[in-house]
Amino acid sequence: MGCGVSKSNLFQKSDSKGSVVSAVTSIKAAVLIQHWYRQYVARMELKRRYTWHIFQSLEYSGEQAQIKLYNFLGYLMDNFTPSSNERNLISHFFRENEVCRDSEWERFFDYKNIDVPEIYSGPHLTFPLTLEQGSGLVDAFRNKRQLHSRYVLQLLLDTWRLLRKFPNISRVSTCQSKEITICGDLHGQLEDLLLIFYKNGMPSHERPYVFNGDFVDRGDNSIEVLLILFSFLLLYPNDVHLNRGNHEDHIVNLRYGFTKEVLTKYKMHGKRILKLLQKIFSWLPLATVIDQKVLVLHGGISDTTDLSVLARVDRHKYVSALRPPKKRHPSTANVSVDYEEEVWSSGRRRSSVALPRPLTRGTFQNTSLPDFSDRVRPPVGGAAERRGRLALQGALLGGSQQALGAAAGTGPSQDSGESSDHSEDEWKQILDLLWSDPMTQDGCVPNEVRGGGCYWGPDVTDDFLSRHNMTLIIRSHECKQEGYEFCHNRKVLTLFSASNYYDVASNRGAYVKLGPDLVPYLIQYQASSKTRELTVRQRVGQTEHSALRVLRKQLFSHKSDLISAFQDLDKENTGLVSLKDWAEAVEGVMHLGLPWRMLRSQLISRRASDGAVDYRQWFTELAIQEPNMEHIEKGLLEMLYRHRSTLETIFRIVDTDNSGVINMEDFRQTWKLLSIYLKMEFTEEAISDLAVAIDTNGDGCIDIQEFMEAFRLSDKKSRLERGRSMFMGTAHDLQRPETVDPDL
């Protein structure tokens, strides 16, 4: 370093007083700017971190909600009498999760009786697929066409047949100087996939690809992304490799948009398509190994991950990673058992074996069902206070894992202890593979934030790589601002290919190319030209703005609980709480583990001179526009808003024929279900008011979508849930298709 600048003539002004003086001034100036820059970067980083923290907290609490809901439904199944209405509402949902015999599945795939009308304007496919049709499909989707359900089913059938032949772990080689392209999470973002193909070329013999899971959910075009990937798989089975992600799972899909997308786009055959996809997802390979040196899988590893075990499992038994495999009663191993029907339907019997009562999820220790409205106060004080969320999740995880572990589907409990141990171990291996995240510290701890898998450290990576004689792990599963991130001393690469995932301009996407030298070469991109030109500061600013907006809504939807909490702390009823109390109360209700103090300037605009917060005033600031439903009780509206995702999920389950409409009776039953789940009372009157308010034509049927929208529960531009980019224009589901419904 030093002052070598005296040699340079850069700093000699024509009227300089002396080169040494100006050199010193120059250095001083430079240092000033550099200092400032570093501070500016640090402040940006802080903002970026809490913004991400907000999005992630909300995302993960959503994931938690799904698991809780599922557990709740399972609890219902076991604890309500067969004839109860509530149970009947949802029993079909569990029936779907069976592993049927293959011949029965073929029946499901029967597409031959589906006719394609003449006015259908989408692509026509013949099988086996040709290259021209493959790229034609890509073009059609780019032009917003939809593939007819007949072709969808055919494509899925061929895909399923092919996938069954693949081993759990695909082995790929870069011989012949081929470069392999690896892509991370796509999450239904078609524009990103198209961008990758545009930059890198479509898959072919000369251009092999690995797609590392999470093809669906959140984005608007999950089914199109999936169909493109499957068609290339069919065209180049040795050159296109798909790994299963944690979102290739029907339970997760129910909440995160894929189920809804398919049912919306394919009104008649959507349910069938979804059921087939359940099967197909379970047949997706678990991992890919390149040149025996590079492991590509979706989530990650744990300290118990063993590739030889993973290579051996019957992967298709794990229809959902959240649910351990069903065990069959040994004597009925050859017979397909429709267990629910068997025991619960009156009279009908498919098998002659009398099956015992189903295993209850009675190990469901939480007899008081935990949920968001529970005011579980985490231990107060310091870090524990803010991370109280993790404690709650830990409890949930303990509860849910116990429940899941003991549930074993609805199979009988007389399995030999040994086989159930095997099963448990295999299940854990798969769960770890799909859900784990790396951490900076050594060791391996359960991933309580997500509810599945582990956090694994650099030592685990080193051990794993040396045991398997490998050099690199490529995984996805986590969104990264630059689209990728190395960790563990560059031995682990996280790759994320869905740009603008949390919001417009939130992050780039990336893909990686590996040649025979196995040195990763990364390419980044961002869908939508408008965002590419934004500076880092503008990008961070925009995302921050969105995150705060969503957070404010969340806060507002917990108004009653928050006011209660404030009042508890405001014993003298002054209407004010100290900042410290404010942060404590908010975290106690929201359980998001966020740095509330840090966010105060963004969330509270006015405070008293001593820093105290006028909490009632605060809510008027936060107020979102409420629907004009004066006759509906306020508390009910708030509850609706808060639990809108759960509400919609239950509606969808109840709507057995997927018509989007449920009758009044089912509507009432849904509320009964919800009231049990949330431990809240709804008066008959309140429910009738709701029904009347939405059943405008008085025919006794409720349109689910209209209901959600009328109560402002469905946020049409909810970016958090959809991750849309500006590129795609108007959302598909806002328009009634003008063209013929290709599903007819």
| Shortest distance, position 580 Cβ to another protein, whole Å | 7
CB of residue 96 vs another protein: minimum separation in angstroms?
Answer: 35
DSSP class of residue 363 equals G
Is 329 marked active-site?
no
Contact pick of 152, 225, 434, 439 for another protein (by CB under 8 A): 439
Counting contacts by CB under 8 A, is residue 523 touching another protein? Answer: no
**Number of residues binding to another protein, judged by CB under 8 A:** 54
**Residue 617 CB-density burial (10 A; 0-12 exposed, 13-18 middle, 19+ buried):** middle
Residue 382 touches another protein, criterion: CB under 8 A: yes
d(CA 348, CA 343): 9
Among 218, 386, 644, 719, binds another protein (CB under 8 A): 386
> Are residues 189 and 725 in contact, defined by beta-carbon separation less than 8 angstroms?
yes
Please tell me the distance from the alpha carbon of residue 165 to that of residue 196, in angstroms, as a whole number. Answer: 28
User: Which CB atom, from 552 or from 600, has the smaller least distance to another protein?
Assistant: 600
- Of 65-73, 134-142, 151-159, 379-387, which part binds another protein (CB under 8 A)? 379-387
- Quick check: 736 binds another protein (CB under 8 A)? no
The DSSP code sequence of 170-228 is EEE--TTTPPEEEE-B-TT-HHHHHHHHHHH----SSS-EEE-S--SSSSS-HHHHHHH
- Told to check if 545 binds another protein by CB under 8 A, we report no
Of 187, 247, 250, 468, catalytic? 247
**E-only strand ranges, 622-714:** 661-663, 701-703
- Longest CA span, the chain: 106
Q: Does 38 bind another protein (CB under 8 A)?
A: yes
Q: How far is the CB of 12 from another protein (least distance, A)?
A: 10
Contact residue for another protein among 29, 380, 623, 624 (CB under 8 A): 29
Q: Please, what is the minimum distance in Å from the beta carbon of residue 386 to another protein?
A: 6
569 binds another protein (CB under 8 A): no
Instruction: Return d(Cα 603, Cα 51) in angstroms, integer.
Output: 13
Stretch 643-672 residues interacting with another protein (CB under 8 A): none
Nearer to another protein, 92 or 490 (CB): 490
Please report how close the Cβ of residue 570 comes to another protein at its closest, in angstroms.
19
Residue 474 sits at the vertex; the CA angle it makes with 297 and 60, to the nearest 5 degrees, is 65
577 near another protein, judged by CB under 8 A: no
390 sits near another protein (criterion: CB under 8 A)? yes
Kindly give the pairing relationship between strand 294-297 and strand 701-703: unpaired
**How many Cα atoms within 13 Å fall on the side-chain side of residue 358?**
27
Task: Establish if 387 lies at the interface with another protein (CB under 8 A).
Answer: yes
| Residue from the set 6, 20, 39, 467 that interacts with another protein by CB under 8 A | 39
Residue from 44, 162, 523, 664 touching another protein (CB under 8 A): that is 44
Using DSSP's 3-state secondary structure scheme, residue 720 falls into: helix
- On the CB side of 212, how many CA atoms lie within 13 Å of its CA? 32
Structure tokens at 133: 């049709």
Q: In angstroms, give the least distance from the CB of 544 to another protein.
A: 11
Distance CA 600, CA 582 (A): 10
Q: Choose the stretch contacting another protein; rule: CB under 8 A; options: 115-123, 298-306, 564-572, 590-598.
A: 590-598
d(C-alpha 299, C-alpha 198), whole Å = 27
The answer to whether the beta carbons of residues 70 and 62 sit under 8 Å apart is no
Query: Is 394 one of the binding residues for another protein (CB under 8 A)?
Result: no
Query: 275, 316, 350, 597: which one contacts another protein (CB under 8 A)?
Result: 597
Stretch that binds another protein, among 140-148, 386-394, 668-676, 719-727 (CB under 8 A): 386-394
Is 370 a residue that touches another protein (CB under 8 A)? no
- Binding segment toward another protein, per CB under 8 A, in 40-48, 261-269, 346-354, 645-653: 40-48
Write down the least CB distance from residue 34 to another protein, Å: 5
Spatial distance between the Cα atoms of 322 and 63, rounded to a whole number of angstroms:
11
3-state secondary structure of 85: helix
Q: Which residues have CB under 8 Å from 75's CB, separation 6+?
A: 361, 364, 369, 403
For residue 529, state whether it binds another protein (rule: CB under 8 A).
no
Q: Which is nearer to another protein, 317 or 387 (CB)?
A: 387
Report whether the peptide linkage leading into residue 742 is cis, meaning its omega lies within 30 degrees of zero: no
Q: Which of 611, 635, 700, 737 binds another protein (CB under 8 A)?
A: 611
Q: Does 536 bind another protein (CB under 8 A)?
A: yes
Please name the residue ranges forming H helices in 379-521.
382-386, 388-407, 417-435, 458-467
Provide CB contacts within 8 A for 383, sequence distance 6+. none
| 3-state DSSP assignment of residue 473 | strand
Of 189, 221, 401, 447, the one binding another protein (CB under 8 A) is 447
Q: Contact between 348 and another protein (CB under 8 A)?
A: no
* Chain residues 180-219 in contact with another protein, contact rule CB under 8 A: none
User: In whole angstroms, how close is the CB of 384 to another protein at the nearest point?
Assistant: 9
**Which residue stretch of 48-56, 205-213, 492-500, 649-657 sits at the interface with another protein (rule: CB under 8 A)?**
48-56
> Structure tokens of 731?
């959302």
Q: Which parts of this chain interact with another protein (CB under 8 A)?
A: 1, 5, 10-11, 13, 22, 25-46, 49-50, 53, 382-383, 386-387, 390, 439-441, 445, 447, 449, 455, 533, 535-537, 579-580, 595-598, 611
Enzyme catalytic residues: 247
